[in-house]
Amino acid sequence: MIQDNTTGENIKTISILGCGWFGMALAKKLIGLNYTVKGSTTSQEKLAILQAEDIQPFLINFTTEAVVADLAFFETDTLFICIPPKRNSTELLDYPQKINSILAVAKDKSKHVVLISSTSVYADENKTVNETSIPNPDTDSGRVVLAAEILFKERFPENCTVIRFAGLIGPDRNPGRFFAGKNNIPNGLAPVNLIHQTDAVGVAVKLLEKQAFGRTYNACSPNHPPKMEFYINAAKSTGLAVPNFIAEKKDWKIVESVNVPDFLGYAFEVGI
């Protein structure tokens, strides 16, 4: 439990909307740090799984029009919104309005709101980007997460906290599988932008510890090896078929952060 430097109150309760791969890992870490954690799922079957981890379980469903939930979930010191856009094209386009529905409910109930976003808001424009760079997404997923960020800033102009994760790797997301056995993969010399689950959780926890709300954070490892080097090594280390890349550098970016070191002082634990 930590002191809230803004309100002078202790931050005791954290609500995590979306206890998926990242949300569940964050919830378990926070439970271990003696926070009270409320977790949501859209699946009746997963309620027992959350409860088994000492997470207070809530069944929450949301559409572009409304959120169907026990509103007690949103009565919290900090709400993390950990819901990535769906790959399905229709659901993908609905993503900003779903986030808007959630924000409408949280507005007068959650003291702080943290939106988990993505570094896909930055296009591959052959340069280094950080939080001061103007986002210019070149993918559908990048465009919808940026639209969600904009809606968030409109509703919470004074206290809008966004964590933009780079590509997430870690347990059950073995990067060696991504290109295993494939040939002539383009852009082999492009730098990678990744973050391990351990560091993704670490950044979120450090945000709470520092009470550094109201900013955008690029959460990406400071290591950016070439794509071919990283994925070949990842395949070898797990005994998978080694992929073959074209040694070229096209359409790339390097995602850096000025806010993570300046305001969080977070030291990355897992090398890329």
What's residue 93's pLDDT? 86
From start to end of the chain, where are the E strands?
Answer: 2-3, 10-11, 13-17, 36-41, 56-59, 61-62, 67-68, 76-81, 110-118, 127-129, 161-165, 167-169, 194-196, 216-219, 253-255
Contact 217, 131 (CB under 8 A): yes
- pLDDT of 258 > 60? The answer is yes
Answer yes or no: is pLDDT of 207 > 90. Answer: yes
- Residue 1 pLDDT class (50, 70, 90 cuts): very low
Asked if 140 and 121 touch (Cβ cutoff 8 Å), the reply is: no
Output the pLDDT for position 11: 82
Residue from 176, 175, 253 nearest 218 by CA: 253
How far from the centroid of its chain's Cα atoms is residue 113's Cα? 13
* pLDDT score for 6: 43
CA–CA separation, 119 and 72 (whole Å): 31
Least confident of 6-10, 15-19, 88-92, 229-233: 6-10
* Residue 143 belongs to a domain: yes
pTM across the whole model = 0.93
Would you say residue 70 lies in a domain? Answer: yes
* Residue at 177 is within a domain: no
pLDDT tens figures, 66-109? 788 999 999 999 999 999 998 777 778 899 999 999 999 999 99
Decide if 14 contacts 76 (C-beta within 8 A).
yes
Q: Which CATH number characterizes residue 134's domain?
A: 3.40.50.720
User: How large a percentage of the chain has pLDDT more than 70?
Assistant: 97
Range of the domain at 24: 2-170+194-223+253-264
Residue 256 CA to residue 241 CA, distance in Å, equals 31
Total number of domains in the chain: 1
Q: Is 8 left (phi over 0), alpha (psi -120 to 50) or beta?
A: left
The answer to whether residue 178 sits within a structural domain is no
In a domain, 153, yes or no: yes
Token digits for 53? 């981890």
At residue 253 the predicted structure's pLDDT band, cuts being 50, 70 and 90, is very high
Mean pLDDT for all residues in the chain: 93
Region 56-62: what's the mean pLDDT?
94
- For position 34, what pLDDT does the model report? 95
| Cα 87–Cα 135–Cα 268 angle in degrees, nearest 5 | 80
CA distance 52 to 143: 37
Taking only the tens place, the pLDDT of each residue in 211-248 is 999 999 999 999 999 999 999 999 999 999 999 999 99
- Sign of the four-CA dihedral 75, 79, 83, 85: positive
86 within domain boundaries:
yes
Q: In this model, does residue 7 exceed pLDDT 50?
A: no
Measured distance CA(47)–CA(29) in Å, rounded: 18
pLDDT of residue 9: 53
Specify the DSSP element, H or E, that contains 30.
Answer: helix 21-32
Instruction: Please tell me the distance from the alpha carbon of residue 90 to that of residue 213, in angstroms, as a whole number.
Output: 32
The C-alpha atoms of residue 163 and residue 185 are separated, in whole angstroms, by 30
Domain assignment present for residue 241? The answer is: no
**CA-to-CA distance for 202 and 223, rounded, in angstroms?**
17
Could you tell me whether strands 216-219 and 110-118 are parallel, antiparallel, or unpaired per DSSP bridges? unpaired
Inside any domain, residue 233: no
Per cent of the chain over pLDDT 90 is 87
Helices (H), 33-169: 47-52, 89-106, 140-155
